[in-house]
Chain A
């Protein structure tokens, strides 16, 4: 279908080279992960091996709960703030834009050292401190996603209508605005989940064990298993994010559809 629309050779060549660039390592490592050296054939032995490790379920659970908490923190913090900024806080916008962008500018290693140096003992001994730091790292993406989504809807009119009908601010944000921008909220949520799930730098520098650091640990015992696990986690995150992109419509098109 796409191919019938190819207008020219340069476009075709670009797609071919880009496709090879993306798919060759992916396909080739998938093939590698299916090799069974002892049996001289291909099969799912390496996959069966890592799934049968007791740590597999354990670390999946750990990483998933850390990621879920960080997504929750970010949404509870950001949705009201970004609504507020778009309604009344225009003066503070440059300042908030700036501080939410900084995690992209500062190397993660520096933040990890700082967290280790400054956070109090009780925070450092609780693994959920990672959720807060993951939330900081996902902040630039989540903030901008929500901001773009809110700019696409007639926020002022909607909130005045809700307030006029007697809803307080809490109800307006939770029951009226959030459902309208649900697509945007969900994509911010899933992006935060994916980023948190794959975070390695802070996790390993603060000496915590999660799913991502476990890959390094098992590579010392079974390289083939570690490669299978890597392919599994990369492909799972690709599919997850692509599905999110396909099924969650951005707020703008949602509103346009509802207005038709």
Chain B
């Protein structure tokens, strides 16, 4: 997903402030095309979803869409999607953080750059091709499955299938772990060697350094990266659709079914209420993410 890390947001650069007040019209004109574009193709469509989610089929105000959206089967879908987001974020964030730490602390400059570019490429994968790739590799007939079995790991020993929630989480890790490496590396990089040396000079052991300095410093960044991963897994559509083809109830897929007319519902704005539900869950995850990133970027330069 994110090539340029989002922590570059709000860096300094605002050295020249206070242009003449007469120029403020010119100031606005400079960004007008971009603001107008985002207005027409992003904010206007979202506003229309919000508006329509409170309308019945005849355009009158109603809360019925949200009532239905909070009931079954949509309640289960929301709980599945949130579970998927949480488990997927945690299972990808921990290995991602460890990889980021080991590469940043022990790798050469060249290796770090290599890992960064590979991670940024992998983080953009997804969609239907990724689903087919995993079905081919880790399906019952796949050679990855066979190879793992040869090493004594039988992924089908339990009740695991690729077409379940666990399978989707497994597939998502292919782009989530690299995403974690990208967003978490700047934080690890920010733990400066001098701090570790300063702590050592003051008599701290390595364990003490980590308990008192390292982990408290990294923890906010870890949580914020986790939230970003949660939002990505929670709202992913294409891979989940290709993998499960409806066998797992997830909110984005249910919205897709309503839009495609696969599921008939007499409330034509139900899909919009579900979409607003997704927007709210995403905002709950992303607002703390942005706030933490903003604070963390102060010492990560």
A234 touches B45 (CB 8 A): no
From B4, B234, B272, A117 is in contact (CB under 8 Å) with B272
A230 touches B99 (CB 8 A): no
**Smallest CB–CB gap between B285 and chain A, Å?**
9
Chain A interface: which of B36-44, B71-79, B186-194, B217-225?
Answer: B36-44
**Smallest CB–CB gap between A239 and chain B, Å?**
9
**Smallest CB–CB gap between B271 and chain A, Å?**
6
Chain B interface: which of A57-65, A84-92, A158-166, A174-182?
Answer: A84-92
Q: Note all chain B residues with C-beta closer than 8 A to A191.
A: 3
From A89, A109, A231, B256 is in contact (CB under 8 Å) with A109
Q: Note all chain B residues with C-beta closer than 8 A to A21.
A: 174, 177
**Smallest CB–CB gap between A187 and chain B, Å?**
8
Nearest-CB residue, chain A, relative to B39 = A99
From A7, A92, A118, A226, B27 is in contact (CB under 8 Å) with A92
Q: Note all chain B residues with C-beta closer than 8 A to A201.
A: 237-238, 252
B interface residue count range (under 10 / 10 to 19 / 20 to 34 / 35 or more): 35 or more
A99 to B33, CA, bound (A): 13
A242: CB under 8 A from chain B? yes
Size of A's binding interface in residues, CB under 8 A: 95
A25 touches B19 (CB 8 A): no
Interface of chain B residues 35 through 85 with chain A (CB within 8 A) = 35, 37-38, 41-49, 52
Scoring A residues 206 to 224 as 1 if CB is less than 8 Å from chain B, else 0, what string do you get? 0100001001100100000
A90 touches B31 (CB 8 A): no
Scoring B residues 4 to 43 as 1 if CB is less than 8 Å from chain A, else 0, what string do you get? 1010111101111101000100111011011101100111
Interface of chain B residues 82 through 129 with chain A (CB within 8 A) = 98-99, 102-103, 106-108, 110-111, 114, 117-118, 120-122, 124-129
Scoring A residues 66 to 109 as 1 if CB is less than 8 Å from chain B, else 0, what string do you get? 00000000000110110011101111111111011111111111
B137: CB under 8 A from chain A? yes
B199: CB under 8 A from chain A? no
Known pairs A14-B99, A18-B99, A96-B34; A242 contacts B117 (CB<8 A): yes
- 17 other contacts beyond A26-B133, A90-B17, A230-B128, with CB at 8 A cut-off? A14-B103, A25-B174, A28-B142, A33-B136, A88-B27, A90-B15, A92-B28, A104-B1, A105-B231, A107-B282, A108-B235, A109-B252, A114-B275, A144-B9, A212-B129, A229-B129, A238-B121
In the A-B complex, list the 3 residue pairs whose CB atoms are closest, starting with the nearest.
A114-B45, A107-B235, A118-B48
Q: Name 29 interchain pairs, CB-CB below 8 A, sorted by A.
A: A14-B102, A21-B174, A25-B144, A26-B133, A32-B136, A77-B37, A84-B30, A84-B31, A85-B30, A91-B19, A91-B27, A92-B31, A105-B231, A107-B252, A109-B252, A109-B256, A111-B42, A111-B46, A112-B259, A113-B271, A114-B275, A136-B42, A198-B127, A205-B256, A227-B132, A230-B131, A233-B129, A242-B118, A246-B117
Give A contacts to B, CB under 8 Å. 2, 5, 7-8, 10-11, 14, 18, 21-22, 24-26, 28-29, 31-33, 77-78, 80-81, 84-86, 88-97, 99-119, 132-133, 135-136, 139-141, 144-145, 147-148, 151, 191, 194-195, 198-201, 204-205, 207, 212, 215-216, 219, 226-227, 229-231, 233-234, 237-238, 241-242, 245-246
